[in-house]
Amino acid sequence: MNWILFYIFFIILLAVLIQQRRRMQQLINKQRMKKKFGKEISRMNELIKEYIGIEVIVCTGFSSVSGTLTKIENDWIEIQTGRGSEIINLEYISRIKEYPRNKKGKKSSISVFFLG
């Protein structure tokens, strides 16, 4: 009977130690990612500033938004759309593209397929 209790105690202790190690590893990975993405986002801020005042299509992993880019602050961008303004976090942006136009300067109808 004593061996069974010792065995159960050992399994529980091992599970707790493994769980603590996983949590510590997750915290370390989170800090590394924050450091890595912080540098990339600051570079992205500088690149996006060229698009202020231009009509753009912003693609995220979930959807896409089209409108005029109005401002960039603290890793967030504000886009003025036909329905109002939208604010998007830079961490979720995968692509920014100037709204395509044809030779006459009108909006291209092909871009409708890119909008979500």
Q: At residue 13, does pLDDT exceed 90?
A: yes
Task: Compute the average pLDDT of residues 6-14.
Answer: 91
Domains of the chain, CATH where assigned: 2-114 (2.30.30.100)
Contacts of 93 (CB under 8 A, 6+ apart): 44, 58, 59, 60, 77
Q: What is the pTM of this model?
A: 0.55
What value does the mean pLDDT of the chain take? 81
Q: Please state, in angstroms and as integers, the Cα–Cα distance from residue 115 to each residue in 59, 62, 73, 75, 110, following that order.
A: 8, 11, 24, 23, 10
